[in-house]
Structure 1
Amino acid sequence: MRTLKNFPEGFYWGGATAANQIEGAWDVDGKGISIADVMTEGSFGEPRRITRGIVEGEYYPAHEAIDFYHHYKEDIALFAEMGLKMYRLSIAWSRIFPDSNSDTPNEKGLEFYDKVFKELKKYNIEPLVTIYHNDLPYHFVEECNGWSSRKVLDQYLELCKVLFTRYKNDVKYWITFNEINDLTVPLGNWNHGGILHEGTKYFVDQVDDPNMRYQALHNQMVASAEAVVIGKKINPEFQFGSMICHITVYPHTCHPDDVLLAQREDLIRNCFCGDVMHRGEYPYYALRYFEENDIQIEMTEADKAILKEGICDFYTFSYYMTICKSADPNTAQTSGNIMGGAKNPYLEVNEWDWQIDPKGLRYTLNHVYDRYRLPVMITENGLGARDVVEADGQIHDDYRIEYTRQHIQQMQEAITDGVELVGYTSWGIIDVVSCSTGEMDKRYGFIHVDKDNHGNGTLKRTKKDSFHWYKKVIETNGQEL
């Protein structure tokens, strides 16, 4: 008889958000403009636009978001009631260094996070802090086209020094960059690189320069390594994680061309950044990819040395879906998170055309653990769906419960396989502004926020059915699903 192992004692059951998708207060207490602040609303059928600066009359969802800035005590109390052991959050760079004239950090911004960490400590919730999560200060776009410039690398390290010193007794676990590998695809230019080429108007259809994009990615990986070295000197107990947007790839058929195409896609999109951040050097397959695509990276000997020195301690990734790759151009396609691919006929899709594949999570966990043999955290996973508020104010989201249950079951399978899985922070523990579409209707949270796609609503928080279900999961350490 097959017996599954229990989740380990001290497993970090948690939830995740990003500052630019929840905080709001975009111009409060000295905060500067970020790249998230110049993205308009959108929907699945109407892409978000990127504007140069704030344009009067446009609606920018990040400006208020769900106003966590003024609701953080209420929200953290709800997280505690749910039983969260860990809360993954990010720090808004432009709240700390608002503009190009900022030589000293904005004290009001630092004080806000002082209060957030104090509140988390009150409930014994461990913070997992992402330093850079899609919110580059906008002035870097106009000054130097974002992360394509080493200037941003240097300024990022100044931010890190401030955060590591200020919060050395408040935070143990750090993630240097959110979904760093998104810069391997053109869609990553804006959110992840702060790169805006002439002619780019829409988030989903960006003008691309692969050489500049990969230079920006190189700069981020060097910045990550330097941040690890700096952080360990400030507090040797700090633990640093990578964060990969893992779009797991299957060959569409057993045809060797499909198999080789899927392997190449997996290596460049999923493995490349993890290999650099955990093994400390550029892998062999990336060098061929660069040569064949005429990509030339400016890389110094000092860069190579710091990449070796500043490797990360644990591996984290987001997981929402899998895709297939096919060498046949006539194969039916699907879209999804960051990159699309061939449609898998064995999987269902959600309303936003994301394929749902719980067993793919077990496959992915084994894949990454076999590669790195490091502690693993799933730092994003969840279902975006439209929720209906009933006449009595309740939200019955059985579909979200079932989605999460199936993924947690596969996590337990992976633990039984031998994977060292140490944490799970469900994406959108509370409803957030969707990064890709700017909607509120695409809801992920276990906590409902009364706000619509156009900014209307009371911001009232309501516990969904999934709130109570997840609370029981945490109470029983995953035994009652």
Structure 2
Amino acid sequence: MSFPKEFLWGGATAANQCEGAWNVDGKGPSVCDHNRGGDLHTKRVFDKIIDGNRYYPSHDAIDHYNRFEEDIKLFGEMGFKVYRMSIAWSRIFPLGDEEFPNEQGLAHYDKVFDTCLKYGIEPLVTLSHFEMPMGIVEKYNGFETRKGIELFVKYATTVMERYKDKVKYWLTFNEVNFGMLPMGQLIILGMYDEDIMSGKKVDYQKQFQALHHVFLASAKTVIEGHKINPDFMIGNMIAHMTFYPLTPNPEDVRLTQTFDNLLNNFCSDVQVKGEYPYFIKEYFNEKNVTIHFEEGDVETLKEGTVDFYTFSYYATNCITAENGHEMTMGNLMGGVKNPHLKASDWGWQIDPTGLRITLNKLYDRYGIPLMVVENGLGAHDELVDGTVNDDYRIDYLRQHVDIMETALNDGVNLIGYTMWGPIDLISAGTGEMKKRYGFIYVDKDNDGSGTLNRYKKKSFYWYKKLIASQGEDRI
């Protein structure tokens, strides 16, 4: 089985990593706007108060806010069928709790979606890609209380109503399982503390109650979204961290199963099956967590299940109960190095076969359409004579496309693929430009200098041929 004609080929970005224009046309600051830049060896720093003498990469990013027509035209030239992007929540409700939305923000995305449709590109909109307004953090502690649910659903329904004839595909929260990790408290609660981020100090009760409110906000958005337009396809988004046991030791196998359940399946089960899974009870007992359910919560979660499952897939890691093994990096968290795999410049292990394993696992578990909405290779790119000969990226993507076809042959209902990210942008993890993913090179350095000129890489033309051939031409 080859890729079907209706397969959605495209690319994915996030507003905070590409738009810039962080305080223009009425936009308020988001959590991401308070994050300084960093690199592979320098942690990003979150400042509660923005320091005018510091560099915050999201403030200018790659100026996609002003250059979206140029960028989307390039996406159209490649033949994109879909463009996954996010709406900056604080561009619509600058503080998060205004009575009325910011018309300038709404008008901007009207133009973005019109440009997409001009080139035959379906927008796939992430409602919250780590972009909570700081006003909600400062006034309500994010999703600590149910006020966060109310404010998110108001925002979500505002944009769904506005764009109901322009956008069909929606995702509620990007990588919602990020909220399972200590560092996730920055996203769902707006809390920042070095001890919290490192896992030394965690208020599990507060964290998981806030995550419960996020689940409810997602479910209510699904319910209300289908009222606005029954044809909407509304999905979740999980950072799928695929793990293998390092050895056949039963302890390694059991530990891997536990990690998979907690970090991947828990959030997915709630959003797809509409209920908390059995295995989370033991974990909650261990952490002294008691989730407070109000009347109607059970029904809301059950009614607000998603229409399709989307996830990011970059790398795999190993798990073992043994100490002393070499560690490696990954998306959100790392693991033990796999001796059978090579790694990227940033230590992420390259494992196309792991994508087949993941797709089969997910389709077996949930039985709903799947979409890979993030997958790509961050690398050091060198611009020479106006281009980048990024054969290493082509090779990475080709291997994953091969595997997706294999998964389709397995019987998996895979409906689309949006690689991360089609144009160079700010890295979420390290806050740098040097870690480049795109088909399009952006002239900007880690310190913010550069012309911002766009240049087509070799992979640009490869992806164009791939899409034009319905995935057949991979040379």
**What range is the shorter-chain TM-score in?**
over 0.9
| 2:55 pairs with 1:59 | yes
1:291 has 2:279 as partner: no
Counterpart-to-counterpart distance in 1, 2:428 and 2:198: 11
Rounded Cα–Cα distance in structure 2 between residues aligned with 1:414 and 1:302: 39
CA contact (8 A) 2:31 2:190 kept: no
Do residues 442 (structure 1) and 435 (structure 2) align? yes
**17, 21, 26: which one pairs with 1:25?**
21
| Residue-by-residue CA offset, 1:259-295 (whole Å, 9 max, x unaligned) | 0000011011111111111111000001111112212
1:148–1:195 Cα contact (<8 Å) kept: no
Shift of 1:336: 1.6
Letter matched to residue 339 of structure 1: M
Summarize deviations over 1:78-132 as a string: whole Å, max 9, x none. Answer: 0000000000000000000002562110000000000001001111100100001
Partner of 1:40: 36
Normalised to the residue count of structure 1, the TM-score between the two structures is 0.96
3-state DSSP of counterpart to 1:273: helix
Shift of 1:302: 1.2
The answer as to 2:27 corresponding to 1:8 is: no
Aligned residue for 2:279, secondary structure, equals: helix
Letter in 2 for 1:141: V
SS at match of 2:244: strand
5+ residue gaps, structure 1, are none
State the 1:331 CA deviation: 2.5
Q: Secondary structure at the match of 1:147?
A: coil
* C-alpha contact 2:274 2:302 (8 A) present in aligned 1: yes
Q: How does 1:175-254 map to 2 (within 5 A)?
A: 175-190=171-186, 192-197=187-192, 199-200=193-194, 207-254=201-248
Mapped pair 1:433 → 2:426: yes
Within the candidate set 122, 142, 165, 2:118 is matched to 122
Q: CA deviation at 1:335?
A: 2.4
| 1:73 matched to 2:73 | no
| Aligned mates of 1:79, 1:201 — CA distance in 2 | 42
SS at match of 1:288: helix
Letter in 1 for 2:289: I
Matched-pair identity in %: 51
Distance 1:282 1:300 in 2: 15
Alignment of 1:75-224 (within 5 A): 75-99=71-95, 102-190=98-186, 192-197=187-192, 199-200=193-194, 207-224=201-218
Separation in 2 of the partners of 1:194 and 1:59? Answer: 24
> Are the equivalent residues in 1 in contact too, given 2:182–2:196 (CA < 8 A)?
no
Measured in 2, the distance between the counterparts of 1:101 and 1:220 equals: 17
Q: Give the Cα separation in 1 of the matches to 2:375 and 2:201.
A: 29
Deviation of 1:333 after TM superposition, in Å, equals 1.8
Secondary structure of 2:143's partner?
Answer: helix
Label 1:100 to 1:19 Cα distance change in 2 as closer, same or farther (>3 A).
Answer: closer
Measured against aligned partners, the alpha-carbon deviations of 1:60-90 in whole angstroms (never above 9, x if no partner) come to 0000000011001000000000000000000
RMSD, aligned α-carbons = 1.3
Contact 1:182 1:245 in 2 (8 A): yes
- Structure 1 partner of 2:395: 402
Residue identity opposite 1:369 in structure 2: Y
Letter of the structure 1 residue corresponding to residue 359 of structure 2: L
Q: Contact 2:309–2:369 at 8 Å: present in 1 too?
A: yes
Whether the 8 Å CA contact 1:323–1:341 is kept in 2: the answer is yes
TM (norm. structure 2) is 0.98
Contact kept? 1:48, 1:203, Cα under 8 Å? no
- Kept in 2, the 8 Å contact 1:241–1:316? The answer is yes
Structure 2 runs not aligned, ≥5 long: none
Runs of 4+ that moved beyond 6 A: 201-206
Distance 1:245 1:56 in 2: 33
